[in-house]
Chains A and B, each alone.
Chain A
Amino acid sequence: MFRFIAADLVRHRWGALAVAVLIALATALGVVVTLEERALRLGSARAAAAFDLVVGAPGSETQLVLSAVFLQPAPLTLLPGSVLAELLADPRVAYAAPVGFGDFSDDRPVVGTTQPLVDGLGGIAEGHTFMRLGEAVIGAAVPRALGETFHPMHGMAEARGGVHTAITYRIVGRLAPTGTMWDRAILVPIEAVWHTHAPDNYGHEGHRHEQEADAGRHDVAATGTTPADASPDSVQPRTIADAYKRRQESEAAGFDAPIRPSAVADPAAPGVPAIVVKPRTIADAYRLRQAYRTDHTLAVFPGEVLTRLYGTLGDARQILAFVALNAQILVAAAVLLVVLIHVLARRRQIGALRAFGAPRVVVFAMVWLEAVLVVGAGLVTGFLLGYGVALLLARKISVQTGVVLPVGFIAEDGGAFLLLFAACGLAALLPAALAYRQSPAAALRD
């Protein structure tokens, strides 16, 4: 029987292959949707794990979380420095760390923060943490070496911000991998960010933007190049040369100074866009959130905001799943039709088998088994293919965002696979029944 099925499959290998491929593609479609959505959900939830509570200025909760946790650039209103000082002094707070974003280096966010967040993210894996204003710690996925230097740029490259030419950070440490956006980030002392964006500098910055627009977007973070080589010095018009020089000097001034952790506790310190808070207990977390939901501050649980986002994501997934399901149904119907036609085309062959004495049950079993083999092969291939594609997609997203998306099957998928397989087995009963009812006399009629 198996020999016969094998011979028949070999004879109709292209047709069988086409059917299997069709089924595999339809299955893969559904698998990718399911896996990718789950990976996105798990990955972002993991990315938010280190961030129990985020405090920012009133505005969009979602944007606050996207900016503070996923480092998505957005111009957030600054919180007054006093909020950070207040939080640092609060006994319910295990630690509170500022997240000062806005600067970039090669499209990688340069984030100003303090030591507790460095530890909260998993600590330093290589080198040492920043101890001076001009020192930086890079995320695990930043392709730079310790000891390299770079100049931060204000705003994303596309936004054509200005290069803080005079400021040079030296990379002194590397974070342990976190599987989050922070793997692509560069962490610097918050004081350094304040220094860069000190109010008396903003006037010059604004002035310089106009020049810079023509000069191009040089991120001079490259290795070995001296600031003089790479800075847009040469294209600077003479008229503002003096101002530029003065600014350069003021920016550079004191960048070698050691950081003062106490500076952030100063209520008079400059503002920050967001503060990451680690409460001591869950009860403290709720109390803190309550306390900082005021007219001037906004406190959110990233997990909560994410759950809301997943709700939206879930709707999208349902639509995709619906599309995938319909594609699968169409394919299933087409395949069933093909199998039925195949069985009808083999009427005489099946009749001959019966005529020669093959029991009806055997003929039934053969047709069923052959259909299930082809369809099953398609299903298994489809699951593997879907897994592979989901993995590739996740990797691509990881490279782009730093968020590690855990692609994987769960027990539920096994159930879905079995269900799908059972459905195919049931559908295959139809052609098998057709063969079963086939009159053996048909073999003799010409």
Chain B
Amino acid sequence: MPDLDIRDLVVRFTGLERPALDIPELVLPAGAHVALTGPSGSGKTTFINIVTGLERPPAGRVAWGGTDIGRLGEGARDRWRATHVGLVMQEFHLFPGLSALENVLLPQRLAQFRLPPRLRAEAGRLLERVGIERPGQKIETLSRGQMQRVAVARALVARPGIIVADEPTASLDAEAGAAVAELLSALAGEVGATLLVATHDACLIAGMERVLHLEAGRLVPAASLPAASAPVSAAPAPAV
């Protein structure tokens, strides 16, 4: 499982004086469960886009397990993301018209010429694990909580080393959110993946080993965070 190593990452948007993201140094060990918090506009989404390779870091080094994704081309980054990153998003981005099972398998189907049979079995297993009883059910007929659980299964089906969730519980009610939060932690733990969750959800934050707090693009000590995670949340993390 890859660890994350960020050096001198600066992201600027044209027209803005301050950089949207300015992280001189950040190291996350492989298999860590990390919450990313901060107010709206603090750079959470930019951070997620950068570390998942959705956007290319304009300056600095962002390396997962020694692979500097900033040096990969767009196609290579797509391929890297397809194999290493499982994504869960606030708006599930499930595709209507397809069944739960087809949704779980869709990214793999599109990325690979031929779908390995074991993936299908794995998808079935994961759906059962997240509590979807009928894998053949059309996705638009599921409840929002069920949809997010299908999205969790989709993020995990290719056994990625990194799971990134962007506000996975924000559009769910408390009960469904709790179920998804629990599943994320449990499943990431089961496969030993590094879990990075951008969230406001205290319940979700509480289950994480570490909290990164962003303020105006910089990592700051999360003084106002729940006491449980305070000791390990000091950031920027000191260089090893």
- Measuring CB to CB, which residues of chain A are less than 8 angstroms from any residue of chain B? 1, 3-4, 6-8, 10-11, 348-349, 352-363, 366, 439-441, 443-446
Contacts and interface: CB of A to CB of B under 8 A. Distances in A.
A361 to B, nearest CB: 8
B97 interface: yes
Contacts of B158: 357
Contacts of A354: 54, 78
A1 B98 CA distance: 12
B102 interface: yes
Contact of B75 (A10, A359, A444): A359
B17 to A, nearest CB: 21
B89 A441 contact: no
Contacts of B89: 352, 355, 443-444
B189 interface: no
Interface residues of B, number: 33
A4 B98 contact: yes
Contacts of A352: 89, 93
A357 B45 contact: no
B75 A358 contact: no
Closest 6 CB pairs of A and B: A357-B82, A7-B97, A352-B93, A356-B107, A358-B110, A441-B54
Interface string B78-105: 1101110101011101011110001000
A3 B91 CA distance: 22
Contacts of B95: 4, 7-8, 349
B109 interface: yes
Contact of B49 (A348, A359, A362, A444): A444
A358 B45 CA distance: 21
B226 to A, nearest CB: 26
A8 B55 CA distance: 27
A357 B79 CA distance: 6
A310 B90 CA distance: 68
B186 interface: no
Interface of B is mostly: helix
Interface of B: 45, 48-49, 52, 54-55, 74-75, 78-79, 81-83, 85, 87, 89-91, 93, 95-98, 102, 106-111, 154, 158, 166
Contacts of B111: 357-359, 362
B154 to A, nearest CB: 7
Contacts, number: 93
Given A357-B110, A441-B55, A7 B96 contact: yes
A357 B55 contact: no
Interface of A is mostly: helix
B52 A360 contact: no
Nearest to B110: A358
Contacts of A443: 54, 89, 93
Given A440-B54, A443-B89, A444-B48, A11 B110 contact: no
30 contacts: A1-B109, A3-B109, A4-B95, A7-B97, A8-B97, A11-B96, A11-B97, A349-B95, A352-B89, A352-B93, A353-B106, A357-B78, A357-B79, A357-B85, A357-B107, A357-B158, A358-B78, A358-B82, A358-B110, A358-B111, A359-B78, A359-B111, A360-B78, A363-B110, A439-B55, A440-B78, A443-B93, A444-B48, A445-B45, A446-B91
Chain B CB within 10 Å — which of A6, A10, A441 has the most? A441
Chain B CB within 10 Å — which of A353, A439, A443, A444 has the most? A444
A3 B98 contact: yes
Nearest to B107: A356
B39 to A, nearest CB: 15
A367 to B, nearest CB: 12
B56 to A, nearest CB: 10
Contacts of B110: 1, 4, 353, 357-359, 362-363, 366
B90 A355 contact: no
B82 A360 contact: no
A358 B107 contact: yes
Nearest to B158: A357
Chain B CB within 10 Å — which of A352, A354, A357, A445 has the most? A357
Nearest to A3: B102
